Amino acid sequence: MLKEAGAIRDSEKHGWMQDRADPYARERAFDLTRFDTPQRFSPEKALAELRDILTSIGDACPDCSEH
């Protein structure tokens, strides 16, 4: 959902997921999750998981920042 909505992207060099910090893309991801919840999750659980994932993804590639 996050990639489909454009809320995250791959780091060009190392492949890490990066937050695009686009509030509209984040809202699209939440809308997609609300309207197309995976069957194994309740809508509330799916939205909570999405929030957890978003808070765990930074906007910088960890491997690039080491150099």
Cα within 13 Å of Cα(59), Cβ side = 4
Residue predicted with more confidence, 14 or 46: 46
Q: Are 47 and 30 in contact (CB under 8 A)?
A: yes
- Does the model's pTM come out above 0.75? no
Average pLDDT of the chain to the nearest whole number: 84
